[in-house]
Structure formats: structure tokens, C-alpha cells
Amino acid sequence: MYALIDAFPQQLTEALTIGRNAQLKPADGPYSNVVVTGLGGSGIGGRIAAQAVAHEAICPIEVYSNYYLPAYVGKGSLVIASSYSGNTEETIAAMEQALAKGARVVVITSGGKMLDMAKEKGLDHIVIPGGNPPRTMLAYSLTQQFFVLKHFGIINTDLAPAIAGAAKQLATDKEAIKQAAKDLTDKLFGKRLVIYSEASTEAVSIRFRQQVNENSKELCWHHAIPEMNHNELVGWAGGKDDVAVVIFRHKEDHERSQIRMEINKDVFRKYTPHVHDVWSQGASALGRQLHLINLGDWVSFYWAEKKGVDPSEIAVINMLKGKLAEMK
């Protein structure tokens, strides 16, 4: 796990090469909507990408992490089916529905049944390196999302330069990021983590939560501002000092959201002293999100290390998949 997280900058660079070399058929279109179907480490890339391009996407981009697709999916839809293994049963079910509805389907995977289906049916597909835990391959699956959205005319901006710049900066800042992650881990260890961010970058908070769940073997939760100001803020009346708050912050957060964050911190500190701002760094908006993703990944690793647990182990998920397989 250490080596895979450490390789994140290099993975981004390799992912760019894969995306540039992808052989996708003519875009055709236009498309009235985009649906990304995927779960866990395979699906989070779609959520991050959808939020990152929301300001310029010419149609809605929605992520469905389930067995089904929304009723509006049809011949005018672009469906991106993302499964690292290529055998995720929920994604396969959704992919089959997309094909039955006449949608344009693009597959992002390392192999498995989905790659076989894509080849058999002549579907566009991008193959990424296999053999690792899906959550450690985000650089590959996320980067391909941007190439697909650009190719099919959903966005005009080529985000490859931003990704390349981020990869270079993350490599340069690697030791500083690791030290910042160690320092933050020390502050969070032994406490229940709550993660906040502005709604426009909520997907990065979700990624951090997922990594703490899987790598650190810890329960935690996240919410977004301003939505949490209309419900969860009241719940802080039950807050305790064994809760630690991390607020992911970006300089481009809406000015009113930034005011809300400062007021929220005053509320949190009535119940816990453990409130931590974590500001993103980087030359581009996407680069700043990749910085926080990398930092959060390191925190989840160092947390597992302090607990003495294996960050790679996911026996309970494998047990679930095994029992489901027995019931087919």
C-alpha cells in the first residue's frame, strides 16, 4: 500500500499516456446526458470528474452506484461504465441496461467480464493496469474520465496539462505532503473523524472517507457546506471532544461558504478542540483537488500504521462478494 500511494504522481503521468493513446470511435452525438456507473474505488473517479467539470459541461453528468440506471437514459445518453476488475456485478447490470436502452457505452476497466463484453459488442473501451486494489488505481480511472468527456464533446477543456502539472508538483512536494499527513494523523488518531468541504468539491471528501474506511478500518462521516448548515449543524449539540473535524478548503470556495466555515468552526469548538483546516495546494483547481486526494490517502495509510492494521486487507468485502456469488 505504501508503494502504491507513493506512486500516485507517476500513475497520473502513466494515465495520461493511456488516455492519449486510447482508440475511441467518432463521438457522434450530441448527447443530452452523461451517466457514470461505478462503485467504490472505481466509481469515485466519476464523482470527482463530474464536479471538476460542472462549470463547463454542456449537459448533466450524474453518477449512479447501483444495479440500475435512471429512466431517462436512452439513445441520447453517454454511459461510462467504470469497474477496475471488470466484474463488479452492479456495474455489469447497469451496463447491460444501458445497452438495452440504446445508449452509447464506454468502458473503463483493467479486464474481466466487462472488457470481454466491450470487445464482443464493439464498444469503446480504455484498458488500465490491473492487479492492484481498485482504490489505489484512482489516478488511472479518474484521468480516463476526462479524456472520455473531452472526446465526446461534453467539455472543451483539455485537462491533460493540469494533470501533468499536478503530477510534477506532487512528486516535488512528496516528502512535505507525507510529513503533513503524518502530523494530521497524529491529531486524528483515537478520535472519530468528521470531514467537511464545500459542496462543489464534496467528492474529494468522499474519497477521503472511503480511504479511512478501507485503509484505516475506521468509521467516519462527511458532509458538505452549505447543505450541512441546514441540518447537521444542529446535531452538533450532541458533539463530544472525541470527535475531530477536518475541513478541506480551496481558495476558490464561494466567499459565502468560506464565511460559513468560519462560523461553523466556532460552533464545533464549543464541543471539541480538534478542528483542523486543510488547505489545498497547486497551480490549478484540479491540481489542488489531486493534492488533497494524495494527502488524504497518506493519512489513511499512517492511521492504519499507528493502529497496527493492514491497510490492504478487505476480508469483509470479499466475504460479502463470496456470499452473493453463492446465491446466483
Q: Mind giving me the DSSP string for 95-135?
A: HHHHHHTT-EEEEEESSHHHHHHHHHHT-EEEE---SS-GG
- What average pLDDT does range 310-327 have in this prediction? 92
Q: What angle do CA 21, 152, 51 make, to 5 degrees?
A: 100
Output 237-241 pairs: Cβ under 8 A, ≥24 positions apart.
Answer: 239/268, 239/270, 239/271, 239/272, 240/271, 240/272, 241/271, 241/272, 241/273, 241/274
Does the annotation count 230 as an active-site position?
Answer: yes
C-alpha to C-alpha distance for 257 and 100, rounded to whole angstroms: 43
Does the annotation count 274 as an active-site position?
Answer: no
- What average pLDDT does range 320-325 have in this prediction? 91
- Could you give all domains of the chain from N- to C-terminal order, each with its CATH number? 2-163 (3.40.50.10490), 173-307 (3.40.50.10490)
- Per-residue model confidence as pLDDT tens digits over 228-260: 999 999 999 999 999 999 999 999 999 999 999
Which band of pLDDT confidence, cut at 50, 70 and 90, is reported for residue 181? very high
Residue 67 reports pLDDT greater than 80: yes
Per the prediction, the chain carries an average pLDDT of: 97
With a pLDDT cut of 70, the percent of the chain lying above it is 100
* φ, ψ of residue 314 in degrees (nearest 5): -140, 50
Q: Which of 187, 254, 265, 321 is catalytic?
A: 321
Does the annotation count 89 as an active-site position?
Answer: no
Look at the block and give the residue holding cell 512528486. 171
Sign of CA dihedral 181, 185, 187, 191: positive
- Contact in structure between 303 and 218 (CB atoms under 8 Å): yes
- What average pLDDT does range 300-311 have in this prediction? 98
With a pLDDT cut of 90, the percent of the chain lying above it is 98
Look at the block and give the residue holding cell 516535488. 172
Residue 84 reports pLDDT greater than 90: yes
Q: Which of 90, 198, 214, 218 is catalytic?
A: 214
C-alpha to C-alpha distance for 280 and 264, rounded to whole angstroms: 19
Residue 80 reports pLDDT greater than 90: yes
- pLDDT of the residue at 60: 97
pTM above 0.75, yes or no: yes
- pLDDT of the residue at 328: 76
Q: Which of 120, 175, 230, 255 is catalytic?
A: 230
